[in-house]
A and B are shown apart, each in its own frame.
Chain A
């Protein structure tokens, strides 16, 4: 078995293209982050306050939609091809979904970039959550829809490979990586229903002028139907890396294959019926639904807590195989000189910290304390901004040789890069949490008010602002180092010898120990659907029955739909 790029050159091309798109988005989004960190702390304001929101939209969309998802599709294409040991069933389809995603990206980007110039009145200053009635140019919604359809086709492509593999290998257990890809995509199909309905039925017609109002709470609820599980769409590839690649880098083996599968099944089942936890402070939703979302969310902690154990145990196994001993002394036997390992381990450590702020966010009434304050960006720069982003960057040092055929440019540079990201984030995210506790709002260009002061414990607000700016600058340096490093490797500037192919070791407790029912994806999807129906039918019915599909200031079209609703009222009234 050779290098991935030699065995599957066409698939490797798509993987490389997806990664290149991902890194471009990371660069652009990251630089916007620098502007924000300096602007909102008052250190350097090179843009108008009103432009800040265009910048912030670009930051959010580039990083949490484009960077993460392009990376995911590239990585998953590799995972499918490499673990099933078969090329794409039809490489033209594989290229087509990548093309669709690029097309969607271009459309949405043009709309967002329009916000920077007065030449056109096109703009999409709606942030990545696009809460109506804030309105973006239709091209933004169309681009988003196209992008998502691209991911749907990608999922189909991967299922097709699996179906073909199953025909050739009857009775065999699905390889772990493929299993992870498939459960992720099933989760994604369910999750994207919410945003697809919001965009296709409400936001697009409204932005095109076909209907003249929207039900703000309804589109918001549909957004969060998607908005929470999308978090797991970023996280599940990371979990795959932690389960499959990190043990190998540590010199050990995955502790338990069946447990890894159980964790992915739990994500499939529990990801969607939690979205209302982003709406704890929304009027128009009864407390009971919020309580239900809270309990679901808390149980969703379980797969992550279990992962923490399995992943650390796999690292410990590696350390002990490499000669590590003692209760904690084995930690020093880990390969801290490998940027891929160190980056992933630090990302995992940050994720543990993020677990804490996440539990607070999930705490329903406790949410009064932190909702929409800087605490929240503080939290998700630890999750998506570090656990995900830093793992992706770290894994790139391991992954890039497999798909380009070039050795990584410099281990030492890579090591500095991942450590710098970690340090930068410690400053920025910690200070964000603390100004948030003082009440400073997020998504605000210039949070200095005439009549509002924010009291912070341990350290003044200006010291904390300094830490945010400092962290932001360190992160920017790390980001530029990363991009430069990728370029140096990609174009093989150092002209090194060809890398060795990587083989992933089998788990200590292999798939043969997994109960067969785990393979029953229909069953798990069915359970997921039942849970979604249970948690969402009543809240949605009550939102629609009280304000109609298109809000109170309805149109003729909306009026007709309202009529339908009135007729259907008795059915909906079964609710609260």
Chain B
């Protein structure tokens, strides 16, 4: 047997601070989805700003 993420040691070895065990199927990372959606919006807007305002908006440029 090997230790690490791969092992099937019993949960109480690592779950010192855990109040409630949540399995894969009962878990929806809704907060993560929200955070990552915000990130997406920021990135997309910044990209448009950098490309069309900062870059194309200034000259001269190599053509």
Contact = CB atoms under 8 A, between A and B. Distances in A.
Chains A and B share a contact (CB less than 8 Å) = yes
Interface string B18-56: 111111100101111011100100110011001100110
A449 interface: no
A176 B36 contact: no
A477 interface: no
B5 to A, nearest CB: 5
B32 to A, nearest CB: 4
Given A313-B29, A331-B31, 9 more contacts: A176-B4, A254-B5, A308-B39, A309-B36, A322-B17, A322-B18, A369-B50, A504-B14, A506-B9
A40 interface: no
A177 B4 contact: yes
Q: Nearest 4 pairs between A and B by C-beta? A: A313-B29, A508-B24, A175-B6, A83-B4
Interface in A339-374: 352, 355-356, 359-360, 363, 365-366, 368-369
7 contacts: A309-B29, A312-B32, A315-B32, A319-B31, A322-B19, A352-B39, A503-B9
B4 A82 contact: yes
B32 A309 contact: yes
A321 B47 contact: no
A319 B18 CA distance: 9
Contacts of A175: 2, 4-6
B50 A255 contact: no
Interface centre among B5, B30, B43, B50 (most CB of A within 10 A): B5
A557 B35 CA distance: 60
Interface of A: 1, 82-85, 173, 175-177, 244, 248, 251, 254-255, 257, 308-309, 312-313, 315-317, 319-323, 326-328, 330-331, 335, 352, 355-356, 359-360, 363, 365-366, 368-369, 437, 503-511
A137 B14 CA distance: 53
A519 to B, nearest CB: 13
A177 B7 CA distance: 12
Given A85-B3, A244-B4, A254-B5, A368 B61 contact: yes
Interface of B: 1-9, 11, 13-15, 17-24, 27, 29-32, 34-36, 39, 42-43, 46-47, 50-51, 54-55, 58, 61-62
B27 A508 contact: yes
B39 to A, nearest CB: 6
Given A327-B31, A331-B31, A308 B36 contact: yes
A212 to B, nearest CB: 34
Given A363-B51, A504-B5, A321 B21 contact: yes
Contact of B50 (A82, A320, A366, A509): A366
B6 A83 contact: yes
A503 B14 contact: yes
Contacts of B62: 368
A248 B14 contact: yes
Contacts of A320: 20, 22, 27
Contact of A85 (B2, B8, B31): B2
Contact of B54 (A173, A251, A437): A437
Contacts of A1: 3
B24 to A, nearest CB: 4
Contact of B51 (A335, A366, A510): A366
A369 B5 contact: no
A521 B4 CA distance: 21
A328 B34 CA distance: 8
B15 to A, nearest CB: 7
Contacts of B20: 320-321, 323
Nearest to B50: A360
B36 A251 contact: no
Interface centre among A321, A328, A335 (most CB of B within 10 A): A321
Contacts of B15: 251, 321, 505
Contact of A316 (B13, B23, B31): B31
A356 B43 contact: yes
Given A255-B29, A316-B31, A322-B18, A511 B6 contact: yes
A508 B5 contact: no
Nearest to A368: B62
Contact of A321 (B5, B8, B19, B43): B19
A84 B2 contact: yes
B18 A251 contact: yes
Contacts of B18: 251, 321-322
Contacts of A315: 32
A315 B30 CA distance: 12
Nearest to A330: B31
Given A308-B39, A312-B36, A356-B43, A321 B22 contact: yes
Given A317-B29, A331-B31, A503-B13, A82 B22 contact: no
